[in-house]
């Protein structure tokens, strides 16, 4: 069950969530009134959510939120760790295997102050901002910074189709590389790859052997081995996990194979 508190003093006027099911330009999702001019103000209050709630910033810096929930991290090197997830509404991609289509539309406007308050109720160490495509909402950058400044270990899960260059460097960036079988490989923003550090991760969700061979080639072409952690995951109920494991061992790949823990535990039910 989503645990989102409505906080709709001001509408998020410039966020247009595509409901066509055919995808749309990322720019459609960008709030043009994003509050970058208030960044310094935000930094002065994010260590105190109660103060922030009373400031004008809480009214200006809003995001469209699909759900906020507490679960075990199902992916990345932090797999298994209790984590609060903030799922932002909207995505300009339409991957063939997408399991969060419910987050393409809907959701509720929440201020950053309200989000911080909801997160704090779980007293977590780890917080993950996910989607949808979180970076499709410009205020995501402010949210990430506010979460880190509030003392959390913060990670961002992004499709790899939007620029990660402005993400706070203290945030762990988990960047997908979309494979041919995803249907969205042409959306990969290759300029993101040189920006990655040891602090970040790359993830390939693989649907078949062609995807696997393609991913190997991408790793070679972009010299990704050693740059940051690389995760291979079989698309759930599409690629046999044992088969993928055998390919990785056969080819001596320096990648980490992960099964999505939340799907094994909760069959991908929303709220987990």
Given a contact cutoff of 8 angstroms between Cβ atoms, the answer to whether 76 and 92 are in contact is: no
Shortest Cβ 121–ligand SF4 spacing (Å): 26
Shortest Cβ 161–ligand SF4 spacing (Å): 7
- State residue 87 phi and psi, 5-degree precision: -100, 115
Q: How far apart are CA 37 and CA 180, in angstroms?
A: 39
Q: How far apart are CA 111 and CA 109, in angstroms?
A: 7
Shortest Cβ 134–ligand SF4 spacing (Å): 10
Residue placing its CB nearer to ligand SF4 in the complex, 145 or 203: 203
Residue placing its CB nearer to ligand SF4 in the complex, 121 or 163: 163
Helix axes 112-120 and 140-149, enclosed angle (nearest 10): 40
Residue placing its CB nearer to ligand SF4 in the complex, 131 or 234: 131
Q: How far apart are CA 179 and CA 44, in angstroms?
A: 42
* Contacts to ligand SF4 by CB under 6 A: 91, 93-95, 98, 100, 131-133, 159
Q: Strand 201-206 relative to strand 229-234: parallel, antiparallel, unpaired?
A: parallel
Shortest Cβ 176–ligand SF4 spacing (Å): 7
Shortest Cβ 187–ligand SF4 spacing (Å): 8
Residue placing its CB nearer to ligand SF4 in the complex, 58 or 179: 179
Across the strands, what pairs with 153? 126
**Local structure of residue 174 (DSSP, 8 states):** E
Shortest Cβ 52–ligand SF4 spacing (Å): 29
Shortest Cβ 10–ligand SF4 spacing (Å): 26
Q: Is 143 exposed, middle or buried (0-12, 13-18, 19+ CB in 10 A)?
A: buried
Q: How far apart are CA 221 and CA 239, in angstroms?
A: 24
Q: How many residues does the chain have?
A: 272
Neighbouring CB atoms inside 10 A of 37's CB total: 9
Residue placing its CB nearer to ligand SF4 in the complex, 94 or 145: 94
Residue placing its CB nearer to ligand SF4 in the complex, 171 or 205: 205
| Tokens describing residue 112 | 């950053």
Residue placing its CB nearer to ligand SF4 in the complex, 57 or 95: 95
């Amino acid at each position: 069950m989503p645990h989102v508190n409505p906080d709709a003093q001001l509408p998020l006027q410039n966020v247009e969530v595509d409901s066509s099911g055919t995808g749309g330009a990322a720019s459609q999702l960008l709030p043009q009134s994003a509050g970058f001019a208030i960044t310094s103000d935000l930094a002065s209050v994010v260590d105190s959510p109660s103060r922030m709630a009373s400031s004008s910033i809480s009214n200006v810096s809003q995001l469209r939120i699909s759900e906020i929930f507490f679960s075990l991290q199902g992916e990345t090197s932090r797999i298994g760790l209790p984590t609060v997830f903030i799922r932002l509404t909207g995505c300009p991609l339409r991957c063939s295997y997408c399991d969060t289509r419910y987050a393409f539309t809907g959701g509720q406007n929440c201020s950053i102050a309200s989000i911080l308050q909801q997160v704090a109720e779980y007293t977590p160490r780890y917080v993950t901002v996910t989607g949808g495509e979180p970076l499709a909402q410009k205020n995501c950058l402010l949210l990430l910074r506010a979460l880190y400044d509030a003392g959390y270990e913060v990670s961002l899960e992004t499709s790899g189709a939007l620029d990660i260059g402005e993400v706070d460097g203290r945030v762990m960036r988990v960047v997908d590389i979309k494979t041919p079988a995803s249907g969205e490989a042409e959306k990969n923003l290759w300029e993101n790859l040189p920006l990655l550090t040891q602090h970040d991760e790359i993830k390939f969700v693989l649907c078949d052997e062609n995807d696997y061979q393609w991913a190997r080639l991408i790793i070679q072409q972009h010299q990704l081995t050693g740059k940051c952690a690389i995760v291979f995951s079989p698309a759930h109920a599409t690629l046999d996990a044992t088969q993928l494991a055998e390919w990785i061992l056969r080819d001596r790949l320096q990648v980490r194979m992960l099964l999505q823990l939340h799907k094994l535990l909760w069959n991908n039910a929303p709220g987990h």
